[in-house]
Chains A and B, each alone.
Chain A
């Protein structure tokens, strides 16, 4: 950390004249939340810069005197004031939300709205206002990850899964962060909902590919979610009641800082208890989660202390009360973070973060007195040091060190006999350096490199990253991005039952997975109202692994080569189109992806290339919302090519070699060589603003799958039937739901 600081200061000293630095934080005037990536300018001096995503900015080499300062950000009124600069200045600037007469911008009043510069430089990057996501039609209640599935390039595995399949990659290839802490299983209710409480979310930033050097550890995408810091101006309460759960958020000032606490709990358990009391065997199930945050400025020098924590749990219990048969599964995440923000120099912004994340799952069952137990746990302890140096108004250097200690535990036992016992504690050391520069003619370039050393891999990986953005006309911009990526952990997941997911570190017998990504795109943004983005992407994958289900049942080896089928390769390529209307009464987007992805493993299907299940040639979504007085109407129409599945090729009879009993069997054709019917679905919602005990509220009605299309999920073959009658298991039918959201 000290070495890094010296490097940055040395660079600055070499470039600096004797002048002052104008720096400060930019916040939302109504609640004091940070407003990241605002444009800060001294027009009279033709100097300016951009605030970072913490809302901090610094403009160096400002001559002494009185200067006009302008700060602007989409969705806020521009700030204009004359500032007397005599020495280094640290300001706190409050931006007021903007309401355009007769219209309402999608970004208006969205706290922590779109990250303007990041969108300009970075390919495949977008931000979503959480309030906007909450207004989309949903199943039961709004969910962040399920809403992201409506964007081009992002798919869902099924109606009950909130897992993200981004540009041909599986859910394990997407890094998911909450307040910079990785979450290893961000799901509730077997994957139906994510762990993100929409009430508590402030920012959602998504890199669909070619992400920059300050992130690492995953092959594909990054979802970076930030919770609210808390309202610095007043104490407030908001919440919601849906058919699934109740959630509450309270926040308020704490000295010069703020605090926030939000909780959510489902109330299915009393309903299930009532059904059980009538004599019907049903399991008991509940989930809950809790988010808290405290921020406190330290002194007057711009330092800040932030503490954030998350705790969530799911519990499924099914005791049949006889024949020693029961089933209990519990899983959950715990995460905490402490961050100290320090200004070494007005132009040198630093953060030191200590965080811990833990995911734990226990499956404890007995079937006719045969006990089975699976327990797995992943926890990490990470120390992160980041520096950001505002070298010039057109050049910012960032760099950082990261040290992570993991702890993986997986134990199993069957019939009172111990099985797999994995207990590993690898470490991961990472370093990154990145330069954001604006060259002449409006060209933005981001060059970065990330280096990593995983204790169980025999290499130091050097991963370059690049992103270039070039305006070619008034409204047109072309972009290019790319990089090399590594992944050292592998997720073993079961679609439809995410509570049993577990992570395994890849050891020296297999080696890390890697990917090369390239993206090229063009953007057309004639006004704030419309935007069209088109991107081509190609990802080359190497060193892939899949769980090996063809080993012995009592395989207790913890070596990666004995757990996985390895040395897989693959690619994903496609074209995405995204057209948005962002202002006005009618808003929404039309997204379309033409994509293709393939995998090849020597031990799968005779080494032939196959389509993974989530390879979908076409994927389209039309999402609209319309404001009519106190009403807001919403719709989402999605269409996707059917998923790939393995069909049957023949029937045959063979004696079971161990019992000598003849069995009728079905012979599989080539892996995933057939397709289910196309998937499509229409969801509608209607929301109405009402008064509620002196506060504001919104009641809503949502209808999932309006025309009740029973989309196909998977195919089963029944060998007991003389006709090989394939049974297609269908997905969810029409599901209406309603609820209430309120704020005080």
Chain B
């Protein structure tokens, strides 16, 4: 009896404790070798480079450099004119617009066709109207009164970075971008921050962060989609991690871009179970025969220099 009970408990412990399993068991129906299209048009900028790649099996070691698709035929059509792209010589999967490269026009529909070994992928985007920031200001965080108006990029990048108004002390005041009126043809807006000084120091300094936490900070970041109902949006200081020159950019995005960013929740589920399940969903791609993004936006920018807080503050 004693031996039987011991055996039973041993089996229970053995079966009960183990919940390890093969990582491969945690994948669904594999969608390998699906075409991935990557191209975004910015109004008043040249036609962009377009990337054609494929998806990889998630069970395999991931090497994005091996996923570029060579020998694709990439054609962008608008206003009854076709522009056939050329493969970049040094980067498999990258396709360059022909020269002279036309500038992306507002309120224009661009069609994309990609042909690869019998597969055809298509998409289209209608560019929004031009967008110009009315102004970018620095507010007093207590009174919300404007204390400075920043010099925009349209006045010259050099001037934008050297203007005294654009020298911002980290966590002092609130940076607010303002639009005079909504941008026609756009469904939403998105803010981005890009650090230009790649070797600049951290501007944050907190004892509760360890080395691993610091490694997670990026020099670039983007907001979720915004409505800009009030015609303004404030830049959060938690998006800034480094000192030095930064470009704040506001995009007015088309339907494709909006649908992708609003459904491509990049939260990896950290937190609690419900977030992990519901936040991991398939984005809306708005492409036929492929996944990815072929979208457009209009944009305006301002340059700032982030300065660290004085010692002891």
The chain A residues found within 8 Å of chain B, CB to CB, are 157-158, 281, 320, 322-325, 367-370, 414-417, 493-497, 549-556, 604-605, 613, 645-659, 661-674, 677, 680, 682, 707-719, 722-726, 728-730
Contacts and interface: CB of A to CB of B under 8 A. Distances in A.
Nearest to A654: B38
11 contacts: A157-B274, A322-B206, A496-B272, A553-B225, A645-B276, A649-B28, A658-B191, A658-B261, A673-B28, A723-B61, A725-B23
Interface in B57-109: 57-64, 67
Contact of A713 (B55, B221, B263, B273): B273
Interface in B175-234: 188, 190-192, 194, 204-208, 218, 220-230, 232-234
Contacts of B225: 551-553
Nearest to B262: A550
B36 A653 contact: yes
B292 A654 contact: yes
Given A368-B171, A707-B17, A662 B223 contact: no
Given A368-B204, A667-B282, A677 B17 contact: no
B222 A656 contact: yes
Given A281-B208, A368-B171, A650 B34 contact: yes
A668 B281 contact: yes
Given A550-B263, A649-B29, A709 B17 contact: yes
Interface of B: 12-13, 16-17, 19, 21, 23, 26-32, 34, 36, 38, 40, 51, 53-64, 67, 141, 144, 171, 174, 188, 190-192, 194, 204-208, 218, 220-230, 232-238, 240, 249, 251, 253, 257, 260-266, 268-282, 291-293, 295, 297
Contact of A158 (B30, B58, B273): B273
A647 B27 CA distance: 5
A496 B273 contact: yes
A722 B61 contact: yes
Given A416-B234, A494-B272, A729-B273, A325 B208 contact: yes
**Most B CB within 10 A of own CB, among A653, A665, A728:** A653
Given A320-B206, A667-B55, A717 B280 contact: yes
A726 B238 contact: no
Contacts of A722: 61-63
B28 A648 contact: yes
Contact of B19 (A497, A662, A711, A719): A711
Contacts of A415: 174, 234-236
Given A495-B273, A549-B265, A707-B13, A667 B279 contact: no
A652 B30 contact: no
A549 B283 CA distance: 12
B265 to A, nearest CB: 7
Contacts of A709: 16-17, 19
A54 B228 CA distance: 57
Contacts of B234: 414-417
A656 B57 CA distance: 21
Contacts of A653: 36, 38, 53, 64, 67
Query: Which of B32, B63, B64, B194 neighbours the largest number of chain A CB atoms within 10 Å of its CB?
Result: B64
Contact of B64 (A656, A664, A710): A664
B223 A553 contact: yes
Contacts of A157: 273-274
Contacts of A712: 19
Contacts of B222: 656, 658-659
Ordered nearest first, which 3 A-B pairs have the shortest CB separation?
A669-B28, A496-B272, A707-B16
Contacts of A670: 28-29, 282
In the complex, which of the residues B28, B224, B264 has the most CB atoms of chain A within 10 Å of its own CB atom? B28
Contacts of B67: 652-653
B277 A645 contact: yes
Nearest to B57: A650
Contacts of A666: 58, 280
A663 B171 CA distance: 28
A550 B279 CA distance: 10
B118 to A, nearest CB: 20
A650 B32 contact: yes
A665 B29 contact: no
Contacts of A716: 268-270, 276
Contacts of A725: 23
Contacts of B279: 549
B141 A416 contact: yes
A710 B293 contact: no
Contacts of A604: 281
Contacts of B265: 549
Nearest to A661: B220
A495 B238 CA distance: 26
Contacts of A554: 226-229, 233
B141 A708 contact: no
A414 B263 CA distance: 21
Nearest to A157: B273
Contact of B264 (A605, A665, A708, A728): A665
B274 A496 contact: yes
B53 A652 contact: yes
A647 B26 contact: yes
A559 B114 CA distance: 41
A611 to B, nearest CB: 11
Contacts of A652: 34, 36, 53-56, 67, 291-292
Contacts of B55: 650-652, 667
B206 A325 contact: yes
A113 B62 CA distance: 62
Nearest to A417: B234
A495 B272 contact: yes
B58 A654 contact: no
Contacts of A496: 271-274
A556 B229 contact: yes
Contacts of A325: 206, 208
B262 A646 contact: no
Contact of A710 (B19, B58, B274): B19
